[in-house]
């Protein structure tokens, strides 16, 4: 099988996805990386043997020797770059979130529809073992019909990963309720098999907003911007982004279009870093304890009782290679993208679902900043829904 020649646009935090996609002799190789930061270009050249680096993404999009592109740039740039690549006939993987507003997400989907170029969205959590396990339990009726879903996201490294660069700025993300929450909202939708139609949210900038230790505009992050064991408690963080105008804690209530009620909570100054999902059906409930190797999903469904640590069924989360990114999800995401570029067809990730996750996060952020006003989430154009549900195949005349 001839390797697909991939171009990576951006080599920041998600440059790891380009490294995973570089598989010479095994289906794909990253031949060129576009990155405006010289230090990151050097990093890409060091991490991907033989790769060519450039400072302009247009060189990659317009290159006839590039078969498909990975859009790994900051969120607010996704629509402009992805649409250019789609119009150039290059299949595109867009890192999540799809973009930072509903309108820009819809622009990407409309462009994919108009051009017929294949669009894939990097919602890698749909490939995480813990998520697949919970979905399988639900699909085989382990808790009956889903009625409510509660998600708590403890972002233990929030001060490192999200308040020291562009993630901390509304102009680049809308807010972390969208940027970080798009993952969990998408998973919530997938487990409940519905999309959010109404939201109500509260939140605030409770810790990092009072921290005066900011870098000067244009000053790069320090070499020790992230350490696994340091920078704790949260108020001891230093060299934060010059601008911080996003919330570090948020709470959202959601009503889905199938009647399911859901709640999502996100905090960026916890000591632990993991996600907790509780899914309750009309015949039981499940909950995960941990979200990586060594974690377990417990199911209570045989009888009523008081608190029981020992559940009716316990399912260990499957182990993955120690160095596999995101609990083994990233390699599986790239597998699916490469298959989709070559053969087309339906995928476990969904451009429609990616748009709906952004739409819910965007409207929830508006609600939060308006004091908790309930807001409706606009649906997607039915023609686009049908197109992507067919696996991006045009309807026969």
CA distance to 73, 134, 155, 229, 245, per residue, from 232 (Å): 29, 32, 13, 8, 22
Residue 219: other Cβ atoms inside 10 A: 10
Does the structure show a pLDDT above 50 at 28? yes
pLDDT tens, residue by residue, 265-312: 999 999 999 999 999 999 999 999 999 889 999 999 999 999 999 999
What is this structure's pTM? 0.96
**Cα 268-185-208 angle, rounded to 5 deg:** 15
Are 32 and 51 contacting, i.e. CB atoms less than 8 angstroms apart? yes
Identify the pLDDT of residue 397. Answer: 44
In degrees rounded to 5, what are phi and psi of residue 120?
-130, 140
Token digits of residue 328: 């083994």
Mean predicted lDDT score pLDDT of the chain: 95
pLDDT tens, residue by residue, 255-277: 999 999 999 999 999 999 999 99
Residues near 387 by beta carbon (within 8 Å), at least 6 away in sequence = 113, 393, 394, 395
Token digits of residue 31: 């031949």
Q: Mean of the pLDDT values across residues 112-134? A: 97
Q: What is the CA radius of gyration of the chain?
A: 21
| Per-residue confidence band for 228, with pLDDT thresholds at 50, 70 and 90 | confident
| Per-residue confidence band for 26, with pLDDT thresholds at 50, 70 and 90 | very high
Q: Tell me how far apart the alpha carbons of residues 156 and 273 are, in angstroms, rounded to a whole number.
A: 4
Identify the pLDDT of residue 323. Answer: 57
Does the structure show a pLDDT above 90 at 13? no
Identify the pLDDT of residue 327. Answer: 67
Q: Mean of the pLDDT values across residues 12-40? A: 95
Does the structure show a pLDDT above 60 at 92? yes
Q: Mean of the pLDDT values across residues 144-158? A: 97
Percent of the chain exceeding pLDDT 90 equals: 93
pLDDT tens, residue by residue, 178-217: 999 999 999 999 999 999 999 999 999 999 999 999 999 9
Helix ranges, the chain (H): 15-21, 38-47, 57-61, 78-87, 102-115, 129-139, 158-161, 170-173, 176-179, 181-192, 329-343, 351-369, 382-389
Identify the pLDDT of residue 324. Answer: 59
Does the structure show a pLDDT above 80 at 59? yes
């Amino acid at each position: 099988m001839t390797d697909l020649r991939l171009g990576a646009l951006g080599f920041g935090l998600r440059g790891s996805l380009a490294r995973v996609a570089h598989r010479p002799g095994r289906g794909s190789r990253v031949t060129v990386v576009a990155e405006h930061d010289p230090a990151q270009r050097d990093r890409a050249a060091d991490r991907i043997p033989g790769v060519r680096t450039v400072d302009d993404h247009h060189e990659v999009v317009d290159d006839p020797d590039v078969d498909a592109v990975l859009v790994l740039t900051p969120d607010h740039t996704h629509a402009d770059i992805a649409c250019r690549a789609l119009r150039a006939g290059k299949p595109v993987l867009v890192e999540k979130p799809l973009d930072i507003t509903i309108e820009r997400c819809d622009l990407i989907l409309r462009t994919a529809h108009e051009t017929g170029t294949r669009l894939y969205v990097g919602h890698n959590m749909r490939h995480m073992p813990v998520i697949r396990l919970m979905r399988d339990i639900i699909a085989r009726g382990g808790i009956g019909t889903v009625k409510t879903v509660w998600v708590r996201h403890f972002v233990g490294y929030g001060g490192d990963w999200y308040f020291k660069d562009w993630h901390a700025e509304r102009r680049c993300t809308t807010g972390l309720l969208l940027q970080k929450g798009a993952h969990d909202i998408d998973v919530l939708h997938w487990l409940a098999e519905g999309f959010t139609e109404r939201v109500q949210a509260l939140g605030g900038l409770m810790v990092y907003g009072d921290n005066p230790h900011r870098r000067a505009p244009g000053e790069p992050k320090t070499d020790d911007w992230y350490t696994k064991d340091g920078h704790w408690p949260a108020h001891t963080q230093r060299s934060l982004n010059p601008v911080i105008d996003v919330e570090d804690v948020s709470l959202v209530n959601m009503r889905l279009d199938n009647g399911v009620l859901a709640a999502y909570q996100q905090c960026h100054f916890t000591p632990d870093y993991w996600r907790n999902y509780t899914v309750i059906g009309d015949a039981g409930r499940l909950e995960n304890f941990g979200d990586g190797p060594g974690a377990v999903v417990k199911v209570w469904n045989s009888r009523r009782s008081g608190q029981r640590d020992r559940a009716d069924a316990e399912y260990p989360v499957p182990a993955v290679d120690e160095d596999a990114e995101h609990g083994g999800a990233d390699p599986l995401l790239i597998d699916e993208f490469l298959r989709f570029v070559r053969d087309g067809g339906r995928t476990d990730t969904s451009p429609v679902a990616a748009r709906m996750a952004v739409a819910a996060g965007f409207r929830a952020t508006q609600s939060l900043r308006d004091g908790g006003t309930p807001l409706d989430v606009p649906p997607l154009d039915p023609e686009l829904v049908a197109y992507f549900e067919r696996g991006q195949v045009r309807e026969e005349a």
